[in-house]
């Protein structure tokens, strides 16, 4: 908190009764707009991704006057703003903040809010609203924001009294970041922003219906430790909750001590180093064949901060048929939602792993690990090298260039799966993607948000896109350029909506209905330059290194690298949607073809 | 789908825990549950509860709402159906709402349930006596009378209300308004 906001809060924290204070000092009391800004400062907000408009103009006016302690980034579309806030939150572990106007400003945020809800990302979205008296009258730029976002928020507030504003801000940030994190919307009618009240940011708040869990039930944890001790073929199934709670190190320590192999979900990537021999990589629809074999044969699945998503389980009745299941999760509703489990442990993953850590003994499972290794040899994760430019080779080259230390933000579709399969993540919070909602257009603004959050750390932020998704929020390139962010933006251009094309080829007799993008694709290099970025083009595997050299030489602005990859490349292995995990399709080439 | 005998022990355990049928064409055992829920007395809270049922695809047979003992709180009685897994989800998701203070499944607890029903019958003065004889058995009260209509109020468990309306079907039934169920445990609990 800045010193100016401290003194203001002391001034305003008058000892007079509120009504008397209001009567005597009305002109000097801060407006709702100022109270909002002071509250955000008090909350420690570092950066706000926003876009002004009529309903929030008072906030922007106060920002101009006060010069608050946080930075405001003017995004070019509110959806980009919400994804930037998500990327910032995922990369830093802090709450992302968005500020937009009423009506279209709010509805443009809907996709980002839904995305944050599905992926448990803490963001607070402040939306302007028409004056209280005009609500319901179809006023200009009116939208029932609370109604529209009800089923995609963890909670939402419509502020009806300026005296509730500061406490509401505190509640919003508290709810967003605690428990299972998620998006919170605060709707701010214009008259509330103009009204005046004393400002005091509360030290504490009470929310009677909201409680968060801590440690797990010790009896359940003990039972779990015994199950782990007795299992012959145990397997950790690790999700994003492990990273959110900060439990990755503990997990790694337990897995190594008891020699338990680890598979992760898409959001679990980075919770366990993928270069560790115990890692079997990602599981599920496009997971490794050996991870899915391990799931189908394990006798004890230890689910940690994961939610048994349908992209993980496929046909649920046929999944992990021999496994007893331990499920550690912070959200009671996640436990036994899709698969009834044998040993539920409700608690903060990090704290429960702490408890388990002291109970799980050294152990070894040589036969089980040998079996997994045999599966790994039988069908490794690899790709063909025949002189054609393939996306996998580019991702591998970026991995080598960044030594696995970059933060990789992928979009949705084939690029997302190759980005998940071939980067080999070793650090928590180094992989960011839209997993639950599958939002195309996520990567570029989310990478921008991550880059803002990681300024000064020296960490590379790499945005991986297809030629379809990148166009959905391309406008944010200008924002990244204006702020001199050294983003590395990779476009894997196969001239198609690749993942849909893959399904059309495999399951719809090659009827490529409306997936060909070449006629409408821009010249990406020229587009990059038009936005003030560096633009590079590569269509030959021999030139990958040269392109990366040129890209990494630029440090003062974003670099867009267009890689013209072959159209036909598909993501393998693959469990077709709704099929049993045992029916996984493996790559059509044999390991002998691999260099 | 496999026959029951082909399930692994773990698959069998999961099916049973979820209350799912073990047979390919079998239907899950679906139960009706009566839940009482205490929420903050705000429009937002009521909206969120109602919205949850459509958002999550849960069934909602009836919902009643009114002020609780503490006027800052509302008390709802919800009637929902589903297999064991779904009912478990209903309870947990309700509990997960920030405005929810208490959720209680009273279905298998010792509790009382009541529903109020208003019934209007079109009738002339000659028919009145026989109608009044019927409604008297149900201890229904006449709450309004006009030259060509009678309006009754009946209160009781849902089965009694159903039976009452069923009997009046022989007459010229004009309107039926039911409150939905309200429920309460017999012993002291819930609202402390």
Active site residues of A: 78, 140-141, 190, 499
Residue range B147-161, pLDDT digits in tens:
999 999 999 999 999
Question: Is there a single domain that holds both residue B25 and residue B84?
Answer: yes
pLDDT at A110 over 80: yes
Interface touch A209/B40, C-beta < 8 Å = yes
Contact list, A339 vs chain B (CB under 8 Å): 14
Instruction: Provide the residue range defining the domain that includes B162.
Output: 111-185
Pull the structure tokens for residue A298. 């394990």
Q: In what order do the strands lie in the sheet with A71-74?
A: A71-74, A47-50, A96-100, A123-129, A183-189, A155-158
Residues from B in contact with A at Cβ < 8 Å = 1, 8, 10-11, 13-15, 17-18, 39-40, 44, 47-48, 51-52, 54-55, 85, 88-89, 92-93, 95-101
DSSP B183: E
Percentage, residues of chain A above pLDDT 70: 94
Check if the beta carbon of residue A203 is closer than 8 Å to that of residue A175. Answer: no
Q: A561 — contact with chain B (CB < 8 Å)?
A: no
pLDDT at A8 over 70: no
Give the CATH number of the domain where residue B127 resides: 3.30.70.1150
- Section A82-99 average pLDDT: 98
Nearest CA in chain B to A322: B10
Q: How far apart are CA A219 and CA A6, in angstroms?
A: 47
Question: Is there a single domain that holds both residue B88 and residue B10?
Answer: yes
CB half-sphere exposure, B81, CA atoms < 13 A: 8
Q: What is the DSSP string of A143-204?
A: --HHHHHGGGSSEEEE---GGGHHHHHHHHHHHHHSSS--EEEEEEEHHHHHSB------S-
Residue range B28-63, pLDDT digits in tens:
889 999 999 999 998 788 899 999 999 999 999 999
Q: Is the Cα torsion angle B5, B9, B11, B15 positive or negative in sign? A: positive
pLDDT of residue A585: 87
Contact list, B14 vs chain A (CB under 8 Å): 339-340
Question: Is there a single domain that holds both residue B8 and residue B74?
Answer: yes
Question: Is there a single domain that holds both residue B119 and residue B181?
Answer: yes
- Section A142-171 average pLDDT: 97
- H-helix segments, A201-260: 218-230, 240-244, 248-258
Q: How far apart are CA A221 and CA A225, in angstroms?
A: 6
Question: Is there a single domain that holds both residue B35 and residue B71?
Answer: yes
Q: How far apart are CA A464 and CA A493, in angstroms?
A: 11
Contact list, B47 vs chain A (CB under 8 Å): 147, 150
At residue A17 the predicted structure's pLDDT band, cuts being 50, 70 and 90, is: low
CB half-sphere exposure, A193, CA atoms < 13 A: 26
Tell which of B90, B105, B120 closes a domain: B105
Identify the CA nearest to A488 among candidates A434, A423, A437, A424. Answer: A423
Residue range A281-312, pLDDT digits in tens:
999 999 999 999 999 999 999 999 999 999 99
Q: How far apart are CA A177 and CA A582, in angstroms?
A: 38
At residue A19 the predicted structure's pLDDT band, cuts being 50, 70 and 90, is: low
Burial label, A555 (beta-carbon count in 10 A; 0-12, 13-18, 19+):
exposed
Question: Is there a single domain that holds both residue B128 and residue B75?
Answer: no
3-state secondary structure of B19: coil
Interface touch A150/B48, C-beta < 8 Å = yes
Q: B41 vs chain A: nearest CA distance in angstroms?
A: 12
At residue A146 the predicted structure's pLDDT band, cuts being 50, 70 and 90, is: very high
pLDDT of residue A588: 55
Tell which of B82, B105, B128 closes a domain: B105
- Section A173-194 average pLDDT: 98
More confident of the two residues A545 and B3: A545
Q: Give the angle A533-A539-A541 at the CA atoms, nearest 5°.
A: 115
Nearest CA in chain A to B14: A340
Residue range B87-110, pLDDT digits in tens:
999 999 999 999 999 999 999 999
At residue A15 the predicted structure's pLDDT band, cuts being 50, 70 and 90, is: very low
Interface touch B47/A147, C-beta < 8 Å = yes
Give the CATH number of the domain where residue B38 resides: 3.30.70.260
Residue B192, in any domain of the structure: no
Interface subset of A 310-329, CB within 8 angstroms of B = 317, 320-324
Tell which of B45, B76, B105 closes a domain: B105
Residue range A241-263, pLDDT digits in tens:
999 999 999 999 999 999 999 99
Residue B34, in any domain of the structure: yes
Pull the structure tokens for residue B26. 């079998």
The domains located in chain A, with CATH, are 3-194 (3.40.50.970), 218-378 (3.40.50.1220), 391-572 (3.40.50.970)
Interface touch B96/A336, C-beta < 8 Å = no
The CA-atom distances, in angstroms, between A548 and each of A19, A239, A481, A490 are: 65, 31, 19, 10
pLDDT at A4 over 70: no
Residue B31, in any domain of the structure: yes
Question: Is there a single domain that holds both residue B50 and residue B129?
Answer: no
Question: Is there a single domain that holds both residue B101 and residue B115?
Answer: no
Q: How far apart are CA A468 and CA A415, in angstroms?
A: 10
pLDDT at B189 over 70: no
- ipTM of this complex: 0.89
Nearest CA in chain B to A338: B85
Residue B86, in any domain of the structure: yes
DSSP A130: -
Residue B173, in any domain of the structure: yes
pLDDT of residue A590: 45
At residue B169 the predicted structure's pLDDT band, cuts being 50, 70 and 90, is: confident
Q: How far apart are CA A538 and CA A397, in angstroms?
A: 13
Q: Chain-wide mean pLDDT for chain A?
A: 94
Question: Is there a single domain that holds both residue B149 and residue B82?
Answer: no
At residue B27 the predicted structure's pLDDT band, cuts being 50, 70 and 90, is: confident
At residue A82 the predicted structure's pLDDT band, cuts being 50, 70 and 90, is: very high
Residue B159, in any domain of the structure: yes
Question: Is there a single domain that holds both residue B9 and residue B101?
Answer: yes
- Tell me the pairing of strands A279-282 and A343-346: unpaired
Nearest CA in chain A to B102: A209
Question: Is there a single domain that holds both residue B63 and residue B29?
Answer: yes
Residue B191, in any domain of the structure: no
Interface touch B40/A155, C-beta < 8 Å = no
Residue B190, in any domain of the structure: no
Q: B44 vs chain A: nearest CA distance in angstroms?
A: 9
Q: Chain-wide mean pLDDT for chain B?
A: 91
DSSP A217: P
Identify the CA nearest to A502 among candidates A415, A571, A441. Answer: A571
Phi, then psi, of A208 in degrees rounded to 5: -60, -35
Question: Is there a single domain that holds both residue B27 and residue B74?
Answer: yes
pLDDT at A136 over 90: yes
The number of domains in chain B is 2
């Amino acid at each position: 908190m800045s010193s100016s906001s401290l003194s203001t809060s002391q001034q305003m924290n008058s000892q007079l009764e509120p009504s008397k204070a209001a009567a005597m000092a009305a002109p000097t009391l801060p407006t709702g707009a100022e109270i909002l800004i002071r509250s955000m400062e008090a909350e420690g907000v570092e950066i706000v991704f926003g876009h002004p408009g009529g309903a929030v103009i008072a906030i922007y006016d106060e920002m101009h006057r006060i010069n608050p302690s946080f930075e405001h980034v003017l995004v070019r579309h509110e959806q980009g703003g919400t994804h930037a806030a998500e990327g910032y939150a995922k990369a830093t572990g802090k709450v992302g903040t968005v500020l937009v106007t009423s009506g279209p400003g709010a509805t443009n945020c809907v996709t980002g809010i839904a995305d944050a809800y599905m992926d448990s990302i803490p963001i607070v979205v402040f939306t302007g609203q028409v004056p209280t008296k005009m609500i319901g009258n179809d006023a200009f730029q009116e939208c029932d924001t609370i109604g529209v976002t009800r089923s995609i928020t963890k909670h939402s507030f419509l502020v009806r009294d300026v005296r509730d504003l500061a406490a509401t801000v505190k509640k919003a940030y508290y709810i967003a970041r605690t428990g299972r994190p998620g998006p919170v919307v605060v709707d701010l009618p214009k008259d509330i922003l103009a009204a005046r009240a004393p400002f005091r940011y509360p030290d504490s708040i009470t929310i009677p219906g909201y409680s968060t869990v801590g440690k797990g039930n010790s009896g359940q944890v003990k039972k779990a430790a015994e199950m782990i001790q007795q299992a012959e073929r145990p397997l950790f199934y690790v999700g994003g909750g492990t990273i959110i709670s900060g439990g990755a190190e503990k997990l790694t320590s337990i897995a190594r001590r008891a020699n338990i192999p680890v598979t992760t979900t898409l959001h679990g990537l980075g919770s366990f180093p993928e270069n560790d021999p115990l890692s079997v990589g990602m599981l599920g629809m496009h997971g490794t064949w050996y991870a899915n074999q391990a799931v189908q044969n394990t006798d004890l699945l230890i689910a940690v901060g994961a939610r048994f998503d349908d992209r993980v389980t496929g046909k649920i009745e046929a999944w992990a048929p021999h496994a007893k299941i331990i499920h550690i999760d912070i959200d009671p509703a996640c436990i036994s939602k899709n698969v009834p489990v044998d040993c539920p442990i409700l608690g903060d993953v990090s704290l429960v792993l702490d408890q388990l850590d002291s109970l799980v003994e050294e152990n070894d499972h040589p036969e089980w690990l040998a079996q997994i290794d045999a599966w790994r040899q039988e069908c490794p994760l690899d790709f063909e090298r025949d002189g054609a430019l393939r996306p996998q080779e580019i991702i591998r080259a970026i991995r080598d260039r960044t030594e696995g230390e970059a933060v990789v933000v992928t979009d949705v579709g084939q690029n997302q799966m190759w980005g998940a399969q071939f980067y080999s993540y070793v650090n928590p919070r180094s992989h960011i993607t839209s997993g639950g909602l599958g939002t195309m257009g996520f990567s570029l603004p989310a990478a921008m948000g991550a880059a803002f959050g990681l300024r000064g750390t020296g960490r590379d932020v790499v945005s991986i896109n297809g030629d379809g998704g990148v166009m959905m929020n391309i406008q944010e390139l200008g924002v990244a350029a204006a702020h001199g962010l050294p983003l590395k933006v990779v476009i894997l251009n196969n001239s198609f909506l690749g993942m849909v094309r893959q399904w059309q080829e495999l399951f719809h007799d090659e009827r490529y209905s409306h997936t060909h993008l070449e006629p409408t694709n821009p010249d990406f290099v020229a587009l990059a330059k038009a936005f003030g970025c560096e633009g590079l083009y590569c269509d030959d595997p021999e030139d990958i290194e040269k392109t990366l050299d040129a890209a990494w030489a630029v440090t003062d602005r974003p670099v867009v690298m267009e890689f013209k990859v072959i159209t036909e490349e598909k993501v393998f292995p693959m469990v077709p949607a709704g099929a049993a995990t045992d029916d996984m399709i493996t790559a059509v080439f044999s390991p002998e073809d691999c260099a | 789908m496999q026959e029951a005998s082909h399930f692994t022990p773990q698959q069998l355990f999961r099916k049973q825990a979820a209350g799912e049928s073990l047979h390919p064409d079998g239907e899950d055992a679906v139960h009706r549950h009566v839940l009482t829920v205490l929420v903050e007395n705000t429009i937002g809270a009521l909206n969120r509860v109602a919205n949850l049922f459509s958002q999550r695809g849960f069934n909602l047979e009836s919902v009643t709402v009114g002020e609780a003992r503490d006027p800052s709180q509302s008390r709802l009685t919800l009637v929902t159906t589903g297999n064991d897994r779904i009912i478990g989800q209903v309870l947990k998701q309700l509990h997960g709402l920030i405005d929810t203070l208490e959720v209680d499944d009273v279905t298998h607890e010792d509790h009382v349930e009541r529903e109020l029903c208003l019934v209007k019958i079109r009738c002339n003065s000659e028919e009145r006596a026989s109608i009044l004889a019927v409604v008297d058995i149900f201890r229904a009260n006449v709450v309004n009378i006009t030259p060509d209509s009678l309006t009754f109020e009946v209160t009781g468990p849902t089965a009694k209300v159903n039976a009452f309306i069923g009997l009046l079907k022989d007459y010229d039934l004009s309107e039926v308004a039911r409150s939905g169920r309200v429920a309460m445990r017999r012993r002291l609990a819930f609202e402390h």
